[in-house]
Amino acid sequence: MKTKEAYRCAECGAQSPRWQGQCTACKQWNTLEPVTVTKKASTPVGAAASQDKPRPLEELATEELHARTSGIPSLDELLGSGLVPGAAILLGGEPGIGKSTLLLQLAGSQAKLGHTGVYLSGEESLPQLKGRAERLELLGPGLLAISTNKVEDALAILDGPNPPELLIVDSVQTLASPLAEGIPGSISQVRAVSAELVEKTKKTGTTLILVGHVTKDGQIAGPKLLEHMVDTVLYLEGDRKHFSRILRVLKNRFGPSDELVVFTMKEKGLEVVEDPATFFLGSRDPSLSGTAMAMAVDGQRPFAVEVQALVSKSFLSIPRRTALGFDTNRLNLLLAVLEKRLRLNLSGHDIYAKITGGLATKDPGLDLAVIAAILSSFYDQPLPESSVYWGEIDLNGQVRPVAAHDVRLKQAKRLGHNPVCHSGTSPTLADLQRVLFGKSQ
């Protein structure tokens, strides 16, 4: 047995991992007293023989996953089949991106379907949650909420006679467990809280959704073990200055991974964009120079996006290179290929490139569209009105094939666009320059 020191309130009996002047439960001052907490030590290796033995997999009965709908059809497709009983889902995203709004809408949809959902918040009070639910028109008898920072309260909900079918914990970094040392949000606390909740929901059949904070690099905060403990990892991203949001699935044990759903932020919450093929295109004017339409693929969905470029004379000793929506290093690489293979002198020009609509992607198929937009701005000549581009540019100036070529081509034809230059025709940058602008090296 292992022992450690904790603090217990003399008035209400609440425990705290560290001493503080005021009890967080009863709000009384100077009532915390040190106590010794005993926790069970792990069993040494070889101390007791396990009764489990290896069994042939072919003799085991196949268990069917009876998933229920979430109330949002696009979310069901993203998850594979819906909300699986006993599944643990981790949702990450930057502050203010809409995680709490999306989960509150999910809890409200479950309540309308007759399922019980509990929203546990460690960051907001119950009046704040009610105000948000009222604004989103989600109030109903099946929508329950609790505001607490103790994991014991969440476990008590699951230990009740009628455990809820959905438990949302917002967020896992705000809960504290008496079985671990450190403050809420520390590695030991996040590991202990997550392990207790995941283990309990597996036994009760409750679908668990954990909200995770992110670091400045955009990674989910806490130990990487947290992502291995859960069944599904979702990430909500987008630019808070735009109304679009993208929900990606990074890991999924019950369905496909690398899928996404596009939302738009409205007054009454997040709404699914049913046909996102042209959502990021906006009101495009093809008669202007420096614009090119690209057929990008993110996940398994093709998107028609506009790539804009501006090439202007620079008066700086070091010209500016700025990229929005894709990697700046990739822009520098493409400019180096242009200077080398097309013998263009870009050293005296500032070059800016961006993807409109607030979309950020790492699709290598955007290389060709970026090149076409830069050349269009450099020569100040607009590209053909119905042209569309995709393909990866290598260091030799060749256009290499990219993934989902047939999907891009089918979507381009459906939208009425003609792929003047794409990876399926094996062109070079010299061919692109000659066909579009009548220029030769």
- Ramachandran angles phi, psi of 157, nearest 5°: -65, -40
pLDDT recorded at residue 182: 81
pLDDT recorded at residue 44: 47
Note the Cα 249 to chain centre separation in Å: 7
Q: Residue 312 pLDDT more than 50?
A: yes
pLDDT in tens, 366-382: 999 999 999 999 999 99
pLDDT in tens, 260-275: 888 988 888 899 888 7
pLDDT recorded at residue 62: 65
pLDDT recorded at residue 45: 45
Nearest-angstrom CA–CA distance, 23 and 74 = 44
Does residue 40 have a known ligand-binding role? Answer: no
Does residue 274 have a known ligand-binding role? Answer: no
Q: Residue 441 pLDDT more than 70?
A: no
Does residue 42 have a known ligand-binding role? Answer: no
Distances in Å between the Cα of 155 and the Cα atoms of 39, 50, 125, 183, 385 are 17, 28, 19, 19, 60
- Ramachandran angles phi, psi of 248, nearest 5°: -105, 150
Of 331 and 185, more confident:
331
Nearest-angstrom CA–CA distance, 401 and 84 = 38
Nearest-angstrom CA–CA distance, 130 and 406 = 48
pLDDT recorded at residue 302: 86
Q: Residue 397 pLDDT more than 80?
A: yes
Nearest-angstrom CA–CA distance, 322 and 73 = 39
- pLDDT band, residue 7 (cuts 50/70/90): confident
Does residue 13 have a known ligand-binding role? Answer: no
Nearest-angstrom CA–CA distance, 436 and 441 = 14
Mean pLDDT within 354-365: 87
- pLDDT band, residue 422 (cuts 50/70/90): low
pLDDT recorded at residue 47: 45
Mean pLDDT within 311-324: 93
**Residue 251: how many CB atoms within 10 A of its CB?**
16
Q: Residue 206 pLDDT more than 70?
A: yes
Percent of the chain residues past pLDDT 90, beyond the cut: 38
**Tokens matching residue 299:** 């996940």
Does residue 96 have a known ligand-binding role? Answer: yes
Does residue 147 have a known ligand-binding role? Answer: no
Of 38 and 258, more confident:
258
**Tokens matching residue 36:** 């010794």
pLDDT recorded at residue 51: 58
Is 235 exposed, middle or buried, given 0-12, 13-18 or 19+ CB atoms closer than 10 A? buried
Q: Residue 114 pLDDT more than 70?
A: yes
Does residue 199 have a known ligand-binding role? Answer: no
Mean pLDDT within 149-158: 92
Report pTM. 0.76
User: Mean pLDDT for the chain?
Assistant: 85
pLDDT in tens, 12-67: 778 888 888 888 878 888 888 888 766 555 444 444 445 568 888 787 776 666 88
Of 5 and 92, more confident:
92
Q: 108: which residues sit within 8 A by CB, 6+ positions away? A: 117, 133, 136, 138, 139, 140, 143
Mean pLDDT within 178-206: 88
Nearest-angstrom CA–CA distance, 287 and 278 = 18
Percent of the chain residues past pLDDT 70, beyond the cut: 91
Mean pLDDT within 172-199: 88
pLDDT recorded at residue 46: 46
- Ramachandran angles phi, psi of 45, nearest 5°: -65, 130
Does residue 347 have a known ligand-binding role? Answer: no
| Nearest alpha-carbon partner for 188 in 18, 426, 331, 384 | 18
